[in-house]
Structure 1
Amino acid sequence: MATTDITEADFEKTLTDHEIVLVDFWADWCGPCKRFAPVYEEVSGRHEDVVFAKVDTEAERGLAAAANITSIPTLMAFRDKVLVYAQPGAVNATQLEELVTAVKGLDMDDVREQVAKARNEG
């Protein structure tokens, strides 16, 4: 599956309609973002079951602010609408493949339990 651009208007629907969504927050002026883009595109082609979304932080300032993006590129991974990974900085193809594999392998019952526990403690 190729990468897809998403906006604030369709962000929630994208998360709701798909089990696994990776989101690359980027900007056109960002050198590391431009170097990461072909890696993101390449890996997306190997995972038809995962949405590889891109958010242009310049065009989608509200969404970037809501996601607390302070550095780009930032990569986020959602599974069943739960944020399971968020990290600034570009990764290489091997690291991105490992991330996708890790997200696919998550025990979501355990993740939801951990999220609930963290909320109760916070």
Structure 2
Amino acid sequence: MIDKIYQEEFAEKVINSPNTVVVDFFADWCGPCKMLSPVLEKLDSMNPDVDFYKVNIDENPSLADEFEVRSIPNVVIFKNGQAADRSIGFVSEQQLQEIINRNR
């Protein structure tokens, strides 16, 4: 299961990580977010060198603002502490894997 993280630990787990990090900005009420969740879980198990986290935008609105999350699901790929790429809306496992691969 992908861990949910909060504002207090975001810098430590995402910005300061030496690994590529995938962050799923989501909300509990979002249907497409629920559909994307098993896709991300599968990708997490397929990519042991990549860290995966979830951020609930209702619980962390300042993080959503900081990373300009205007639509969800919004998957942001971080590399070397910077937002390097993103995917908005529901996308396939293959599409997300391609985004991850180009940001390793």
Q: Which has the larger radius of gyration?
A: 1
* Higher helix content, 1 or 2: 1
Which structure carries more relative contact order (alpha carbon 8 Å, separation 6+)? Answer: 2
TM-score by length of 2: 0.92
Cα distance in 1 for residues equivalent to 2:68 and 2:76: 11
Identity %: 32
In the alignment, which residue of structure 2 is the partner of 1:72? 72
Structure 1, unaligned stretches of length 5 or more?
Answer: 105-122
5+ residue gaps, structure 2, are none
Between the aligned partners of 1:82 and 1:66, the Cα distance in structure 2 is 12
Match for 2:90: what amino acid? A
Q: Which runs of 4+ in 1 moved over 4 A?
A: none
> 1:8: which partner in 2?
7
Offset at residue 18 of structure 1 (A): 3.2
- Residue type of the alignment partner of 2:31: G
Question: Superposed, which structure 2 residues align to 1:18-97 within 5 Å?
Answer: 18-97=18-97
TM-score, normalised by the number of residues in structure 1 = 0.79
After superposition, the C-alpha distances for 1:62-93 in whole angstroms (9 at most, x for unaligned) are 21122111110111001111211023212111
1:45 aligns to what SS in structure 2?
helix
Code of the aligned partner of 1:50: V
